[in-house]
Amino acid sequence: MKPTEKPQRRGSEAFSYRGSKQGILRRRTGTSILHCDDVSLPELVERYGTPLYVYSASLIASRVKAFQQAFKKVPHTLCYSVKANSNLSILRLLSEMGCGFDIVSGGELERVLRVDKRAGKRVVFSGVGKTYPEMEAAVKAGILLFNVESESELAILAQCATRLKRKVSVALRVNPDVSAKTHPYIATGLHQHKFGIPIREARGLYARTMAAKYLQIAGVSVHIGSQITDLSSFGQAMERVGELVEQLRSDGHTIRYVDAGGGLGIDYGERELPHFVEYVREYAGALLRPLRALEVHLLLEPGRSIVGPAGALLTCVLYRKMNRNKKFLIVDAGMTDLVRPALYDAYHEIVPVEVWDDSSSTEIVDVVGPVCETGDFFARDRKLQMVKEHDLLAILDTGAYGMALTSNYNSRLRPAEVLVDGKSAKLVRRRETISDLIGPERIGKM
């Protein structure tokens, strides 16, 4: 394969091919090796094994800066969506850049507070099923805002705040009945979804909330889904939110915040999106046009768009196999390590970690894992450069909803995670051990 024919990444600047080095790795001349920033991925595999998640701190930082620049003319807080990737080192990096956090559980709140106790004041708490203990912990942490999703939840939060005698800022998450034009499992803004309060009913519930002594109405929240690339959906949702804000203010409510949610999609290699800086600028325009006259503090909840392209899952080819005319690459990662293809039929670009300049052979293969499920696959009928057993593959754009959705099904151990910044690499989560897996269990007689 000629150098100009090497696989080219469209979506992520963090992962690129470079010429091989002679030395202890003893790789032959003519090999190009995939790097994360300035770190060779085979070197990381030699140190930490596979499956292995690798993230680029520099790309995460550059994407945060792109958001901050795009929204610099309006008061705003970037509340990173912790569910996308909750690694403590990534949360620390984001906190140091001034980010707030969008959480959906008490566990996520604890992660944020472990990184920086002061960050609690930059937290918004979303989610349809908040428990009383979770609410209590969030009230004690002095979080910025509760995004309330039902009248019943509002009543429980009022009880909690009253018992603690703490004023609590709330926004109602409204359901604008806007299509996000995304996968049905990650769409949240239509009336048939479990999320939010129908926007037509919100005004009445805001009025009833005024009777709660310790609840302070502070904003309106909306979130219509995830992996949205049609920016008009965001604009349509904001138009409806803007109309509601004007109505609420005319009713005497003080509306300081509009939480626009997250959901901005990324390029997984199937379609070509604008360069990220321009893309975020267009996104900002779609959100801000309907809100310009309202003078609100905008809360944003990006997750995937910040960390998605910054991550790759490295895996080793265990076996090559043929069933009649069907070719399989069986790798050591499985749906327990990355469930998105099995859950959403999601596309992830897959590339060899090493490319030989004198080989241009390709083949049509299924890339599958070792888990005992037919749904344990990463790609079906995918055209890939031919690789051998023991070669390494990189599954790209896995920084979001990769490690966060891992499981121990088949009693498999969760992978390690490494954070790269320029020339340095740091282990930020060790590989699980059998002791980690079975430690909480007890053998007891009935």
Q: What is the pLDDT of residue 195?
A: 61
Query: Per-residue pLDDT averaged across 184-194, rounded?
Result: 45
Residue 263 per-residue DSSP state: -
What element of type H or E holds 380?
A: strand 377-385
| CB count in 10 Å sphere of residue 427 | 15
Please give the Cα distance from 336 to 124 (Å, whole number): 29
Q: 374: phi > 0 → left, psi -120 to 50 → alpha, else beta; which?
A: alpha
How does residue 165 score in pLDDT terms, banded at 50, 70 and 90? very high
Distance of CA 41 to the CA centre of its chain: 22
Instruction: State the amino acid at position 278 in one-letter form.
Output: E
Give burial (CB, 10 Å; 0-12/13-18/19+) of 110.
middle
Question: Of the candidates 203, 172, 175, which has an alpha carbon nearest to the alpha carbon of residue 191?
Answer: 175
Point out the catalytic residue in the list 36, 160, 316, 372.
372
Rounded CA gap, 139 and 161, in Å? Answer: 7
**pLDDT confidence of residue 10:** 43
Q: Is the pLDDT of residue 26 over 50?
A: no
Report the distance separating Cα 272 and Cα 368, nearest Å: 26
Provide mean pLDDT across the span 74-90: 98
Residue 44 sits at the vertex; the CA angle it makes with 41 and 50, to the nearest 5 degrees, is: 95
Is the per-residue pLDDT at 307 higher than 70?
Answer: yes
In this prediction, residue 181 has a pLDDT band, given cuts at 50, 70 and 90, of very low
- DSSP for residue 194: S
- CA atoms of 98 and 72, how far apart (whole Å): 13
Residues 377-394 have a mean pLDDT of 96
Beta bridge partners of 200: none
pLDDT at 178: 66
pLDDT at 193: 52
Q: Does position 21 have pLDDT exceeding 80, yes or no?
A: no
Contact (Cβ atoms closer than 8 angstroms) between residue 173 and residue 197 = yes
Task: Identify the CA nearest to 348 among candidates 315, 386, 390.
Answer: 315
116-145 residue pLDDT tens? 999 999 999 999 999 999 999 999 999 999
Give which of 149, 142, 130, 133 is closest to 166, Cα–Cα.
142
Residues contacting residue 194 through CB under 8 Å, at least 6 positions apart: 128
For residue range 89-119, list pLDDT tens digits in order: 999 999 999 999 999 999 999 999 999 999 9
Given this model, what pLDDT does residue 124 score? 98
Specify whether 372 is catalytic: yes
Q: How far apart are CA 365 and CA 96, in angstroms?
A: 43
| DSSP assignment string, 286-327 | HHHGGGGGG--EEEE---HHHHGGGEEEEEEEEEEEEETTEE
| Contact call for residues 80 and 98 (beta carbons, < 8 A) | no
The three-class DSSP label of residue 275 is coil
Closest Cα partner for 55 from 8, 32, 80, 87?
Answer: 87
Residue 194, pLDDT score? 54
Determine contact, residues 100/120, Cβ cutoff 8 Å. Answer: no
pLDDT value at residue 30: 62
**Residue type present at position 25:** L
Q: How far is CA 383 from CA 174, 350, 379, in A?
A: 44, 10, 9
The type of residue at 363 is E
